Chain A
Amino acid sequence: MHGISFDIAHMLAGFLVLLSFLMLYQVRLLPLLHVLAAHAFVLALSVAWQAYIQHAPHLYITAAIALVFKAIIVPVALRRMVFRMGIHREIETVVSIGLTMLAGMALVALSLEVMLPLTAKAEPVVREDIALALSVVLIGLLMMVTRRNAVSQVVGFMSLENGINLAATGAQGMPLVVEISVAFSVLIAFIVIGIFLFRIRERFDTVDIGVLDEFRGGQR
């Protein structure tokens, strides 16, 4: 189990990080959704590759879920939402793009630094894989923190989930339990998000959380 197969896995994981950076770079919603789709697609590829090299056919299901659900359904749904609400023209970041990118770099550096002292017991594969997955997770979180619009926050959250998926599938022989739970939870998470977005839209005519905050009131 060495050589080219792992190189390909790494390449895919690295690509995922790259796409995460691309997400950070995108300031408009629609391209962001495209990148999200690409992100999920690469994840699906990666999972499928893992399924292949680990001879773990159940991972194909995960790959399929990633492909169908995350790469197609969700981006499409979000795209519709964006159009319906007429917010496809703009997306404001809180922190400037340059700074965000810099922060992203720092996060990648941090995750590598944290993973470096892994002892020889753990395979180097794991070390690098997890470092990349950690980067994706952290960048996803950064995305959530630096964007004000709910749609882009959802995007951030999903890229975070993708990172976790990457880690989970990279872990050899991780029992099915986790796989299903990941998919399951993402599903539920998304459904509930949907419910909430719906309700919130119904009441507030927007999904901008900033507007939500106006209802804080002073009575606490």
Chain B
Amino acid sequence: MIEAAAYCVAALLALAALGVGVARYGPGRSTIYAASALVCVALMWIGIASLGADAARMKLPLGLPWIGVNFRLDALAAAFLALVGLGGASASVYAIGYGRHESEPGRVVPFVPAFLAGMTLVVLADDAFAFLFAWELMSLSSWALVMAHHREEGNAHAAYVYLIMAVFSGLTLLLAFGLLAGPQGSSPGGFTFAAFRASPLPPATVAIVFVLAMIGTGSKAGLVPLHVWLPLAHPAAPSHVSALMSGVMTKVAIYGFIRIVFDLLGTPSWWSAVVVLVVGGVTSVMGVLYALMEHDLKRLLAYHTVENIGIIFIGLGLAMAFWANGLAAGAALALTAALFHVFNHSVFKSLLFFGSGAVLTATGERDMEHLGGLIHRMPKTAFAFLVGCVAISALPPLNGFVSEWLTFQAIVLHPDLPQWGLKVAIPADGALLALSAALAAACFVKAFGVSFLGRPRTTQAAQAREVDAFSLASMFTLAAICLLAGVLPGAVIDALAPVTQALVGAHMPTQMDRAWLSIVPIAEARSSYDGLLIFFFIAVSAWATALAVHRFASHRLRRGPAWDCGFPDPSPATQYTAGSFAQPIRRVFGTVVFGSRETVTMPPPGDTAPARIEKHIHDPAWETFYAPVAAAVGGTADWMNVLQFLTIRRYLAFVFVALIMLLLVLALWQ
């Protein structure tokens, strides 16, 4: 099995190389994408097939000879391999259609398979060298993709910030692995994960590795305040790449976190769970608040990725909390919830990015203020997008609800934990989780309502055309998965059982053999949920009601102008915009979090000039963490730049001073 996965990676790399040559030709591009879709399907299949199987290993004589390149396909890797395969396949199929409109195919086509290969390799890697190699390869190839439309304003900056953060994460992980390896790095097998597992570390070291892993994977996944690259990079990349970055790459980062913290470090301490919980909670709420302030569709989606990463980390934190206290069942529940959400987010975020890509193709606009009424022009895209919106808003009966429900079930279990820190942090996280879910729903009402409903705000939106069949096929497949995972969550939970078994030594009870296919995390009396029945009830009662009303009451219908309380205005500019829609929430949360201000400039009486409202928003993460660093680096660079323009005499003085200093050091040392 693992050999097959390795061949798949090789095939992807070959496709990347081939892509350089054929990117110019339309059929060539389609072939590359189609081939990579096939390879990804194979990867997905391999992943699913090896979920329950024993861990397989493989060693290639590459890299550093005393380490080699080690691959291992265990349950965790298999789960994420399936995820990469699914995301890659859907993105590739989508790209067959979407890629036709690509203005710079040469800068996109070769890098997509390379990016997929990088992500697959991260999941397969079983030693520090291979892991980081793949990690950075993933970053580098996606950087090239973000850079694809380099002439558009802001994209270069986005790619810059992105790669800096990516390299920062790589270097942080490098430190973590350095600590894990210890001084035995040069011995044969020194950097393999097996060696890391075998050598126990002192608690202080574990703590440092944990923090480094958190920073390293968190900056790739998008934990606040390390998230700044996401809203920049995701809009800049072509939409299928945004989907991959958001839906799959951030998940690969989470894989890294799970691999290091759950697998390599062993049982965590309870305070580390508190750290994860706090960061996760803050991330989820901050992410969604940021999203609410946005009116660029893809940036909004990117911020929602931040939010969902936060939710996943809440689940992981819960799992760590239970695991640290030896409550294996709770840990299994929380970990399953987190992994389920990983899966869900991957699916619906890809779907939403595909949708936004379709909108972009159809209208050339990402700014929601320039959209509107697309449901009429692009009904299929609108439907798929709506499914994604409902799913990400954690509403039943779709999949997003199930994973958040599971997370909540884990939260309800928390009185079993002895530490006061966890007792306070977990309910608070529950509150944050609830808040972020509610805000997410608000945000997606905004996103869907402003872009797809109402009247078109621009001619581009009014003349939009439905997108091609490949894109639609990809979107509808994902929408179907959203529904299936929502109504049959037991299948996903059971599939994840080997993963939790391997990591925390327990798994949730088997779900699929329960009657009515309901899910029961702990015990019947505690809680249960049956997505299938709920879906069935809703569908039947809605359908039956509609039928009954039409049959027995009235089915007459007359079209007319909108009533609008008697003041219908023909201008679409009078509609609510994204900015105005979010205004109440901006006033409630934004003034505190973002220091948002609104200034209204009224024309003097009698003047017919329009009144203007301006909103000002500060980005707290950027202003607190990044701007000072950038200013410090820039200031130091300016200050040191003088050293380029000194006289030879002064340079000689440096030599002289260096000599004197060293001699003084010597004198003191002796």
Q: Which of B's residues lie within 8 Å of A, judged by CB? A: 644-649, 652-653, 655-656, 659-660, 663-664, 666-667, 670
Contact = CB atoms under 8 A, between A and B. Distances in A.
Contacts of B655: 141
Nearest to B645: A216
10 contacts: A107-B660, A110-B664, A111-B663, A116-B670, A117-B670, A148-B647, A209-B648, A212-B647, A212-B648, A220-B644
Contacts of B645: 213, 216, 220
Contact of A141 (B647, B659, B666): B659
B649 A144 contact: yes
A210 interface: yes
Given A110-B664, A145-B653, A209-B647, 18 more contacts: A107-B660, A110-B667, A111-B663, A114-B666, A114-B670, A117-B670, A141-B655, A141-B656, A142-B656, A145-B656, A148-B647, A209-B648, A210-B647, A212-B647, A212-B648, A213-B647, A213-B648, A216-B645
Interface of A is mostly: helix
Nearest to A111: B663
B641 to A, nearest CB: 9
Nearest to A116: B670
A93 to B, nearest CB: 11
A188 interface: no
B64 to A, nearest CB: 39
A113 B647 contact: no
Contacts of A116: 670
Given A110-B663, A220-B644, A141 B652 contact: yes
A139 to B, nearest CB: 11
Contacts of A94: 649
Nearest to B654: A145
Contact of B649 (A107, A148, A216): A148
A63 to B, nearest CB: 28
Nearest to A109: B667
B57 to A, nearest CB: 53
A144 B649 CA distance: 7
Interface string A114-126: 1011000000000
A145 B667 CA distance: 23
Contacts of B663: 110-111, 114
B649 A113 contact: no
A213 B645 CA distance: 8
A110 B667 CA distance: 8
Given A110-B664, A145-B656, A209 B649 contact: yes
Contacts of B652: 141, 144-145
With a 10 A CB-CB cut-off, give which of B645, B649, B653, B655 has the most chain A CB atoms: B649
Nearest to B662: A114
A147 interface: yes
A99 B153 CA distance: 58
Contacts of B659: 138, 141
Interface in A141-161: 141-142, 144-145, 147-148, 153
A141 to B, nearest CB: 5
A147 B649 contact: yes
A110 B660 CA distance: 8
Contacts of A144: 649, 652, 656
